[in-house]
A and B are shown apart, each in its own frame.
Chain A
Amino acid sequence: MNDEKIQQYGDELYEAFVSRRAIRPLLEREPDITIEDAYKIQERFVARRVAAGEKIIGKKIGATSKPVQDFLGVYQPDFGMLLSGMVYTEGDTIDLGKLIQPKAEAELAFVLKADLQGPGITAMDVIRATDYVLPCFEIVDSRITDWKIKIQDTVADNASCGVYVLGKTKGDPRKLDITLAGMVLEKNGELFSTGVGAAVQGSPANAVAWLANTLGELGIPFKAGEVILSGSQSALVPVVDGDELVCTVGGLGSCRVKFSGRSAA
């Protein structure tokens, strides 16, 4: 795919993000898009957001667990960039009016205290470089109509990242068993689903190592202080006005978030 088209699709996704009007799947229009092309489109989309004033403050790993892979029909992980305009904190209410077709995922977030430069990074390096972990929600959103995405579409669309919410309870992965920590997700006071850290590539640390190595191949390091969202441990939860979600990580703590307003779709 030539640079002109990459720029065009990146711009189209940015416009969709700003106007909250979803666009047709890219793969329907360009059946030959490779995953590499898709990451270049993502780079353009993200560059437009940075040019408009946001900063890159971390990374997210997507499509890591079976329920999410089944939903997407995508059977490999992918990644996207976390931007400063995406951040919410525990207890905040998320305005759905800023999103198109949001769904929530319960995850573990890693905050790094040291740089990590792949390739060659193991799960042990990830633990060594981790300052702390937090329970969190990622609210995924698709700029592609009706979530009709293949891997190339979601990659180009910044791994379908919407916004994210970090909990306040910090956990030390040298004390907390991040692999076996249970994940209990409640919606409006009722149990919605349960999961466990191992749902993400056998352990969330494996997923973070995978991303360090994947980005390393592209010459991109993890920087100390960055937030890495390690991938969903739950099924995708659709959210509407008035919904309240709580996720609780066993041995760590909870993250609570409310939603108000109406999303575009």
Chain B
Amino acid sequence: MSMNITLSREDVVRLAERVEGAQTRAYAIPKLTDEYPDMTIGDGYAVQLELRKRFLAAGHRQVGWKAGLTSKAKMIQMGVNVPSIGFLTDRMSRPESSAISTSDLVHPRVECEVAFVMKKTLQGPGCNAADVLAATDYVLPAVEIIDSRFSGFKFDLPSVVADNGSSARFVGGGRARYAEDLDLRTLGVVMEKNGEIVTMGASAAVLGHPAEAIAMLVNILAELGENLPAGSFVMSGGITEAVAVKPGDSIVARFQELGSVSMRFV
């Protein structure tokens, strides 16, 4: 993946402000490539990192990263062909079994993921799944609430990367487990909305194995000049397709061996 930056510093700041406004005040904007058709993935990450700088300056704490667009189902749903990453902050975290407000979201969708908590710092390039497992403290089930700030959830890769990979909220929960006690490739997952199964799959849907997605994330971080610090909470990407939620909806994500994660939307 080329991290070539073509936008001027002024344009990067301008686009970061535009995305920040849309994220903070929950409104949809046209995808950034409408105005900057030659925008690259590298430009997208430049905007994302500028966005992170602004959030951190406002007192948010980064708690980790997420891999996105890691399953065939998601790539087809979104019309892209390369995975992406985004940062996670404390402000995005919501407790298990809580009521999650939708008034500060544009058009939220939920997906089931296996999350990793790291005990050792990982540095790419060349990071592989075995490195990830050796550096993992524990794994847990999570639900990511994604929310593209682009009208109609229509975007391309540079735009979605600039929008921090559609990151909005996340809920970790269930049971913490040692990765070595599980076959992380074959974990079954069922998502229920209001008591009805809406989507399901097994964890191999994420690049063949969720640890592969974390390795990919570490290698993208290396291209951005960063590592994955010990203590990071990392989500490996949706196993299932993303399901739209609205006020009144109740979600339960059930994971083989990892328990369940539930929440409701208000």
A: which residues have CB within 8 A of B? 177, 179-184, 191, 194-199, 202, 248-251
Question: How many whole Å from A108's CB to the nearest CB in chain B?
Answer: 11
- Given A180-B188, A249-B186, answer yes or no on A198-B202 (Cβ-Cβ < 8 Å): no
Contact B255–A184 (Cβ < 8 Å): no
* Besides A182-B256, A194-B205, A196-B202, 9 other A-B contacts (C-beta < 8 A): A182-B187, A182-B189, A191-B208, A195-B201, A196-B188, A198-B197, A250-B186, A250-B202, A251-B186
> How far in angstroms is the closest Cβ of chain B from A212?
22
Contacts known (A250-B183, A251-B183); A180 close to B254, Cβ less than 8 A: yes
**Within 8 Å CB of B72, what residues of A?**
191
Q: Is there contact, CB below 8 Å, between B256 and A181?
A: yes
Residues of B within 8 A of A (CB): 72, 183, 185-190, 197, 200-205, 208, 239, 254-257
User: Are the CB atoms of B183 and A196 closer together than 8 Å?
Assistant: no
Which B residues lie within 8 Å of A198 (CB)?
188, 190, 197, 200, 254
- Between A and B, 19 residue pairs with Cβ closer than 8 Å are A177-B188, A177-B257, A179-B190, A180-B254, A181-B188, A182-B256, A184-B185, A184-B186, A191-B208, A194-B205, A196-B188, A196-B190, A198-B188, A248-B185, A250-B185, A250-B188, A250-B256, A250-B257, A251-B183
User: Which residues on the A side are within 8 Å of B201 (C-beta)?
Assistant: 182, 194-196
Q: How many A-B residue pairs have CB under 8 A?
A: 75
CB distance from A249 to the nearest CB of B (A): 7
**A contact residues around B257 at 8 Å (CB):** 177, 180, 250-251
Q: Which of A179, A191, A250 has the most CB of B within 10 A?
A: A250
Cβ contact within 8 Å between A197 and B188: yes
**Are A180 and B204 CB-contacts (below 8 A) given A196-B190, A198-B188?**
no
**B239 CB contacts on chain A under 8 angstroms:** 194
Nearest B residue to A183 via CB reads B202
- Which residues of chain B have C-beta atoms less than 8 A from A182's C-beta? 186-189, 201-204, 256
Question: Contact between B202 and A194 (Cβ–Cβ < 8 Å)?
Answer: yes
